[in-house]
Structure 1
């Protein structure tokens, strides 16, 4: 299929080969790409419970610096979405994903380099920042490319299923990667985390080597602001719903440490397990009944989870709160995502996915430093009350999408 054929695919009826194959075919087609995304985010998940503690306990940094370093990845990912999306649309998503794995592996080597400067904590932190930026560039290429690649393989009518399975890979990797990171850190320290971060992405490259690529869908760059204008409403809903996820990834380990609870890594596991369970049981709903309806219910559950963490006086309550946050957030991404896909031009498939995910980056980039400042002023628990408020605002956006008229020429996928 030529680029022109791809670009001329009609909006209301998919081009040949982009229709809606049976679910089992969709699953089998997506399986290798899903596995590669799992591998990429397993590497990231290993870092989640360890990096904040390394910054705080080994390097002696405060909560604001922890938030800034953790959030730096999301700032860099946000700034790279346009580049990554256009790269995938113009050069092909397989090339984008391959480049992403290479860059992610280099970020692990930079982490290793930072350990040579532990006696000079400020220098070590700056080197870690470089590693976080490189990790963000790799992650941006992997996610943007994998989403566009997947939709290209199974068709736009299965966009919801693509987001469901890619999301399962991401958060399943978080759920398993976090305790694996704790084990690595306990035995080999942050050196083990850094070395694994350099090696694990190479496995992802091996997985995608044999997957059929899809043709580029564009011959010139599309201005990012045009795509942002098409997807900003569902993107805003995603951003607000992502605050709770950002608070768990950046600060749940510090909350457990402040309250002298053990087993912080199991909060990540509870989040990830509930996230996967929701997608396995209800993942078909965004495509079937509409994304906005699913998003309304999802963010309500997430708000309840954040309130439980805020009020927890024992670790089991915090685990339950993390699980409810994961369960609710699970379907917010495909729920708002289905609304975003039907608003975007079909020839900008990867760029549209990048623009949508950019709202997640915005949320996580802002959440880290703001929550760090809030924790310093009002205590670590207060940030989860703020997370519940953000989920409530996300529900308002979902309700607006639900009652609003579809965009002119828009379509449900």
Structure 2
């Protein structure tokens, strides 16, 4: 069925959508009823909830990113710990995030996004307060676990909520844009922490982190958009929390995260040990490279496909890690290495989402993306303490050389990862169709 929509009809339809959202009755766009329709998803009432959710997630991840900048030198300086322990304090938050994401994604698919996103803001604030009052490394670790669970609830419960009423043709673009709330927050957080430390103290950073969590909670509380449960969600079980087809691309994603985790855990310590001024801005360079590449490079996922983008960006990440592994390159090596790693990491998320949804189909998309992202968290969890351990025993250069090796293994695994499930099942057929659709959309 083909339908041409006049300007007057378009305005009337947009007004109807806005009115229904205001009254909380819910609105679900059914492309099977209206196809080839030129009405864009662009009403002000549709944008406002998304902007609030984007800002809420961004605030929460700015808080997490700020702790990454400050925590390693804070733990080693105040408590006299080794780089290994500092790596654990960074990485353990990602363990909590990895375990919490599938649960948050499942409840979001079940129409419980609001509860979990608000809970995420509160947990982030509680974790920030824990950093502020902690008197031992053990208390820091507890605060990190709480914050990690909060970050999982924020993003993994928010993205299915955002996409619930978006037309099929717009879902890829909206998902890619909304994803910047998480990745942009992680990139901006270290910059904010560096600015605060120029005029304040570490305690000031912890206070700001706590306030950002509370801000996230308030912003989510202002959202009035209805929640739409997924008709194809899996039962709440171990199998239901691990959708078929999500693990293989998730492993590639997790291995690619190792280099980022190594940078988080030991780069600042490495540069401080060599008395390089780049310790104050290397993470900011990483953040800038990440954001610029994400904005300008996202169309490549549509043009080349997620799998092809994998290969390009992982190679760039390997080269960046090798720059960091050569201490004799000094400040230039540190800056170039951080920038290249930022470029490599930036497009892994949209590329892996494209591959994952092509394999899992329309069954529980929130859970599928959450599981995929959990592997990223696991990569960060392993990278933090392992990089610290290698740095303690063999030096920082060796730790970054291992990061280059792990990224190379991700490249090899990506070569054998199929972009669709075996034919023959309803799930595989829907997954293949969705994968082709996602490849055409901006991620």
TM range (shorter): 0.7 to 0.9
Which residue of the partner structure matches residue 374 of structure 1?
390
Which residue of the partner structure matches residue 141 of structure 1?
153
Other structure's SS at 1:215 match:
coil
* 356-365 or 208-217, which deviates more: 208-217
Aligned equivalents of 2:247, 2:396: Cα separation in 1 = 31
Task: Tell me how far 1:25 sits from its aligned partner.
Answer: 7.5
1:269 aligns with 2:284: yes
1:232 aligns with 2:247: yes
Q: Which has the larger radius of gyration?
A: 2
TM-score (norm 1): 0.87
Task: Tell me how far 1:404 sits from its aligned partner.
Answer: 7.3
Which residue of the partner structure matches residue 222 of structure 1?
236
Which residue of the partner structure matches residue 336 of structure 1?
352
Contact in 2 for aligned 1:93/1:149 (Cα 8 Å): yes
Q: CA RMSD in A?
A: 2.9
Contact in 1 for aligned 2:53/2:158 (Cα 8 Å): yes
Contact in 1 for aligned 2:391/2:397 (Cα 8 Å): yes
Q: Structure 1 residues 222, 230: closer, same or farther in 2, change over 3 A?
A: farther
Aligned equivalents of 1:393, 1:213: Cα separation in 2 = 43
* 21-30 or 38-47, which deviates more: 21-30
Contact in 2 for aligned 1:239/1:360 (Cα 8 Å): yes
Aligned equivalents of 1:369, 1:91: Cα separation in 2 = 37
Q: Structure 1 residues 215, 24: closer, same or farther in 2, change over 3 A?
A: closer
Task: Tell me how far 1:101 sits from its aligned partner.
Answer: 0.4
Give runs of aligned pairs for residues 47-58 of structure 1, distance below 5 A.
47-58=67-78
Contact in 1 for aligned 2:70/2:202 (Cα 8 Å): yes
* 31-40 or 99-108, which deviates more: 31-40
Q: Deviation digits for residues 354-413 of structure 1, max 9, x if unmatched?
A: 111111111111111211111111101211111111221222233223687776312312
1:199 corresponds, among 211, 215, 222, to 211
2:188 corresponds, among 162, 176, 183, to 176
Which residue of the partner structure matches residue 144 of structure 2?
132
Aligned equivalents of 2:299, 2:384: Cα separation in 1 = 32
Other structure's SS at 2:396 match:
coil
Other structure's SS at 1:77 match:
helix
* 355-364 or 142-151, which deviates more: 142-151
Which residue of the partner structure matches residue 93 of structure 1?
113
Q: Structure 1 residues 347, 231: closer, same or farther in 2, change over 3 A?
A: closer
Other structure's SS at 1:314 match:
helix
Aligned equivalents of 1:88, 1:132: Cα separation in 2 = 24
Q: Structure 1 residues 225, 189: closer, same or farther in 2, change over 3 A?
A: farther
Aligned equivalents of 1:95, 1:40: Cα separation in 2 = 16
TM-score (norm 2): 0.81
2:299 corresponds, among 280, 284, 292, to 284
Give runs of aligned pairs for residues 301-340 of structure 1, distance below 5 A.
301-312=316-327, 313-340=329-356
Contact in 2 for aligned 1:160/1:284 (Cα 8 Å): no
Q: Give the aligned length.
A: 397
